[in-house]
Structure 1
Amino acid sequence: MLRQSVISPLVLLFIISLCGCASQTNSFSNRYFPVKNNKKRESSLGFSITPPSGAGWFEKLNDNSLYYLKRIKTNNYSIYTKATEIHIPDADLEAESFLLFVKQSRQLNVNSSDYRNISTSYSVNPELSPLCVRYYQKYEDHGNKNLKRDDFVEIQKNGLVCMHPDTLSDGVEMFYVESFLRSQANGAPSYKAEGESFLGSLEFHTPLNKRG
């Protein structure tokens, strides 16, 4: 059984300054647990994932989402991951409609002056399911008022949206987010491979909770 552990103020600072999660800080500190094993985390909707590879990860289950946050001793980089059960309307279950659905639902607010130099890409990834899209977002976040005027956070998000091959209206979205403080980007660590291991752990099996 996992035992509760309070995340250090340093890690909480990462969440506030780099992940944009300040409003959830108190609940995060009460609900994250150190990852003690690499066993599959299974959903009744018929899929399983495993925690990211590497050390220093903390885990949190919140409703239909599973979060992982890596504890890192630096203030210029952070990484976290998330997996969420999703359900989509039947109208979006065709390949072209599904790709459009993913693009539209994952769009950033381009009208906000906080987000600049946005680049995105989407690609169909049919190895796991006929409805599966890999996406990538990169942008600058200039909205953090605690940073110097000419500084900003660079954010890179890699994600996967896949529907169950047997019950296409049910599925999962997984992603990992890397955040870099631009003024200190040189020499910053990167745990991209650990984020990729998280995305690569997705497996589908017979659902225990088939809807309808």
Structure 2
Amino acid sequence: MRKYFITGLLILVPLAITAWVLNLIIGTLDQSLLIVPDRWQPRNVIGFDIPGVGAILTLAIVFLTGLLTNNLVGNFVVRQWERLLNRIPVVSSLYGSVKQVSDTLFSSSGNAFRKAVLVPYPHAHSHTIGFLTGVPGGDVKNHLYGDYVSVYVPTTPNPTSGFFLMMERSKVVELDMTVDAALKYIVSMGVVAPDDAPTE
């Protein structure tokens, strides 16, 4: 009975977690329906709610925004909008910081999370996987003597939180491993080991 129970868990737990995550994502995206007038809400049009309509609406808004801003007129409107936001004291610093991070993470020409590395952490006799994010800049580099790199060390099993470290390049070992394989290794707490041969 114990064997069958564990087998059932191994099958159902991944399905349950996947369904929970999808439900959380779709439920969050469905909040975009709040911008739709009440008389056009699915429950008032057809008599009941349809899960996922808000997710489709969100994806459509993102796609249309990218389509409309990918021309001279759209770029002009975006520049004017950003100029307006930059004049608002608190909003300007918050928006500027978030925009710099998003541009770095989502830009095809960015270098964020492009390389998995092995670093000594939290002490010299243990190691973990991190991701190169660049090199120290600003006044920080004036106080670091030597060749340093910036590394993001994610936590397990939630890689969206972690630690930002500036480490000597000589102590950082670049891994012959894709970022996706490294993330799977981290999220699985080392259970799902990457293949010996790197995957492109």
Smaller-chain TM-score range? under 0.3
Larger radius of gyration: 2
More strand by share: 1
TM-score normalised to structure 1 length: 0.23
Bigger fraction of residues in helix: 2
Calculate the TM-score normalised by the size of structure 2. Answer: 0.24
